[in-house]
Structure formats: structure tokens, C-alpha cells
Structure 1
């Protein structure tokens, strides 16, 4: 079996497997974090639920690519909607992960003023913003994409927007900027945890609840996985300029970006469920 045939098989069966496992996991994730009263007391729960909604949307869009009648090659409108929603859901998921990383940093800070930034009131106000902002930012993906003859691949119709998307929107907004935020707040959170551990050794100090500690570890591990996957994708892109679309024998495009996005979305949905804080 050639690499092209293997890629085609993975492209077809991968979405089905990840959809059947990822959707229940993401749904269960949202139910757990909103259904348990103790977890609802943490602002991070709101960001986790928002990310779960984005993950479910991304998994649905990816799954539809395995159905011929709804794939991006089915029609012009399917092409436009597929690229628009893929870009939007990816930005949504990363935004909520960044908000969760910020909240974990704020909640573990020794400064009372900074800890006030980790509140239910602020989380409720921030929750709808990514759902309002990213669809507007990514409207050009709907306008400037279509089936391009003679092969009718789903790609950009504007060379200018193609340059903007490839060199700014995709790498900067979807990878570099959120990745920088994740790494920065991840390191700052680790620093706060070390300070808290040192203070706990002193008498008469208040300890952070165990479920808060578990939630912090969960977000740090998710940050690490996202950073590794994003860096892996960018490194492969630098080594292979034709990474985005790989031609196979029937001239149908297999988008290799989807594979890494599926792994990341699957971990976001399934990983958080397996690491859900135990309430005791």
C-alpha cells in the first residue's frame, strides 16, 4: 500500500472513528463540568464547556468530509462552508483554551487583585465573545473559496487572500498567537504553583482544594499537548511547502491539516473527560 492510499484510507475512516468517540466524550465533558455544582464554582468550567462546544462542531464538520454528498468537493457552497467552519471552530477551540490558561494563572496568583480576574462574572461575559468574533473574522474564508477548475479542488479564488490566509490568518491567528499565550500562561502558572507549594510548608496557610489542583494539572497537560501538536504541524509545513493539499490518483485533495486537527480535537474532548477532577 502506497502512502497515498494509506492517506486516503485514513482521511476516510479517521473522521468516522474520531466522531463516534469524540462527540460523546465532548458532550459528557460539558455535562460533567456544568452538572456538578463544585465544578461550576470554577470559572474554568465555562471555558471548558465553550471549548467542548467548539470541539463538537469541529468533529461534525470533519465527519461530514467523509460523506460524499456533504464533503467540500460536493458543491461550491459545501466548499465554502467547510473551510469557513473548519477555520472558525479551530480558532474557537484555541481561544477557549487560552482563556482557560489565563484563568488558571489568575486563580493561582498570590496577588489578590489578579485573583479577582478569575471570577464567574468575568467568565460569563467572556464566554460568548469568541462565538461572536471568530465567525466575523473568518467570513473571507466563505467569500474567497470555491471549487477551482479543471480539477475542482476546494481552494482560494483570490491570490491576495490566499497569501493573507497562508502567511497570517492560519499561522499567526490560529497557531503562533494562541500558542504564545498558552506557553506564557502555562509557565506563569507553573511558577505560581511552585510558590504555593512553598507557602504551604508554612503553618496556618490555606490550601487550594484538591479539585482545583486537578483542574490546573488538567489544563497544563492540555496546553502541553496543544503546543506539541501545533509545533509539529508548523515544522512539517516548513519542510514541505505542499503540505496543505496532497494530490492522490483521482485528483481529489486530502487535507493533511485535518489529521493533526482531529488528533488535537480528539484529545481536547477525550483527554479532559479522562482527567476530570474527582470531587471528594
Structure 2
């Protein structure tokens, strides 16, 4: 085996082990975190009435859909060589459609949450009441789901398998997606919105004396949201630009070592971007005393229930033993 072949094999092995060691535990943590977020955010009445929390709850719900339906498929292909969507056109179309739709919807809701924080801290009372309300939240959630579901419908038509790889078969649409749609949605859009809204929130807080500035729950929500927005903006840059690189180099003849390095980079970028989905709950848990309080209450309740069940089983066992002796 040549030095180049040995290096290629090593890099490919690293790519596979990234899935075994990191990706699989991340999926477990992510699904657990999304489930706990949904459970906790629906257990407190003040959370249920807060527009920002409802946006974050919608994001957690979409994360709970994205991780098992999309990310697991990618791990099966890259980590175990089970080419589900790389061998079947229908599976390829389903994978590409869900990949883009669930990802974009999930990252849209933190942006909506940032907008709600901007609206709720505005000095203009009519603007606050108009845009920071439950009615607007419901309309935004439904509209966001419908809008992105329609925008990405061409994925169901233009996706297909070529050379055992799931790709966009229509060249024009592929260029449109790679050079315009993906960078705009994953990089330019979130980065711009997050920067504008965060700056607006800080300006509003410095200029206004509205009650929400002094409200404990509002401060807790803001502490949860801002780290999430910062990481979303940072991770979106490489994730949104990778397709441009691959489109520009699609006609370049690449060695097996070159392809192995590219594949490893894709794995790292994807892992980095999925931190948005996986560690959101744990950011909430670390940054918010309200979430920690509810989490402790929940775990205590489950521990008590478990103890009660065990005690009941012991009592039933004792009754059976007593009746046996009789």
C-alpha cells in the first residue's frame, strides 16, 4: 500500500469514527434535549403565555423531527455504509426535501424569537402590542412551516441518484440552490437578522423603561436566546458556503486523497452545525434558573414515582409470600 493510499484509508476511517464516537451520542443527546425542552416549556403557564418561548418550543419540536428523520439517515450512510438515499431515487428525494425543510424551519424560529425580543423591548407601545403577541406567534409558526415546505418542493422533483450519490440532477436548480438559496438562508439571512435584532434589543434596553426590562422571566429568556443566536450565526457560515465550493470544483479531477479530505471536512462542518440542534436544551439549562428549577422538579417527581412503584412492587411481593405461608 502506497503512502497516499494509506493516508486516504486513515482519513476515511476518521470520518467513519466521527459518526461512531460523536454523531451517534449527539443524536441521543439532541433527541433527549428536544424532548425535555418540549416537556419543560409546556409545564409552566408563564412559559406558555410568552411569545419568545413559544418560538423556541416550535424550534425544539422541529429539532425532534429533524434529528431522527434526517441526521440518522446521514449517519447510516457515512458511518455504516448503508446507502439508503444513495441507492434509491424515492429515498433520495425524501432525504433532500426533509433535510432542507426541517433544517431551515428549525433555524427560523430562533430568528423569530430574536424579533419578538426586539418587538417586546420597543419604545413604541403599539408596535409592541402588534408584533409581540400570541396571535402573531401562531401565524408566524404556521406561515414559516408552509412557506419553506413550498419553497423546497423542487427538491422532490430534481433530486436523484447518480453514481451511487444522492444529488440535485437539474444543473440550473443546483446552481440556484448552491450559489443563492443556501448561502442566503443559512449564512447571510440568519447573520443579518441576528445582528440587526440583537443590536435593536440592546438599543431598546438602553433607551426604554418598559416593565419587561425589569422582568425576571424576560431576562431569563434573553439569557437563553442570545448564546443560541451567536452560535447559529457562527456555524451557518461554513455550512452555508460549502455547496459553493463543491459546485465550483465539480468538474475538477480529484484524487482519492482529495475526496477523502473533502468528505472529512463535510463531516466536521455537519457536526459543528448540528450543535445548534443538539445542545440547545443544555444551553437553556445552564443559562436559566427557571429551566433548572423545572428540571429539578421534574426529575424529583420521576424519582418519587419510581420509588412509589418499587415500594408497591415490594408490598405486592410480601402479600404473595404471606398468602403462600397461610
Question: Normalised by the shorter chain, which TM-score bucket?
Answer: 0.7 to 0.9
In 1, Cα distance between equivalents of 2:15 and 2:93: 23
Aligned to 1:154, what secondary structure does the other structure show? strand
In the other structure, the counterpart of 2:202 is 190
Aligned to 1:66, what secondary structure does the other structure show? helix
Residue 96 of structure 2 corresponds to residue 83 of structure 1:
yes
In the other structure, the counterpart of 2:147 is 133
Where do 1:187-266 residues align within 5 Å? Answer: 187-196=199-208, 199=209, 208-233=214-239, 254=263, 255-256=266-267, 257-266=269-278
- Summarize the Cα distance change of 1:105–1:206 in structure 2 as closer, same or farther, 3 Å threshold: closer
In 2, Cα distance between equivalents of 1:26 and 1:173: 23
TM-score w.r.t. structure 2 length?
A: 0.73
CA contact (8 A) 2:123 2:204 kept: yes
In 2, Cα distance between equivalents of 1:33 and 1:242: 45
In the other structure, the counterpart of 1:42 is 50
Deviation at 1:159, TM superposition (A): 0.7
- Summarize the Cα distance change of 1:89–1:195 in structure 2 as closer, same or farther, 3 Å threshold: same
| Cα-Cα RMSD | 2.9
Aligned to 1:72, what secondary structure does the other structure show? coil
In the other structure, the counterpart of 1:93 is 106
In the other structure, the counterpart of 1:123 is 137
Superimposed CA distance per residue, residues 181-217 of structure 1 (whole angstroms, 9 cap, x where no aligned partner): 1111011112122234xx49xxxx7853111111012
Aligned to 1:127, what secondary structure does the other structure show? helix
TM-score w.r.t. structure 1 length?
A: 0.84
In 2, Cα distance between equivalents of 1:247 and 1:57: 37
Structure 1 gaps of 5+ residues are: none
In the other structure, the counterpart of 1:175 is 187
Deviation at 1:74, TM superposition (A): 4.2
Superimposed CA distance per residue, residues 46-95 of structure 1 (whole angstroms, 9 cap, x where no aligned partner): 11111011212221110132235574224222221111111111110121
Residue 73 of structure 2 corresponds to residue 64 of structure 1:
yes
Deviation at 1:248, TM superposition (A): 6.6
CA contact (8 A) 1:73 1:153 kept: yes
In the other structure, the counterpart of 1:104 is 117
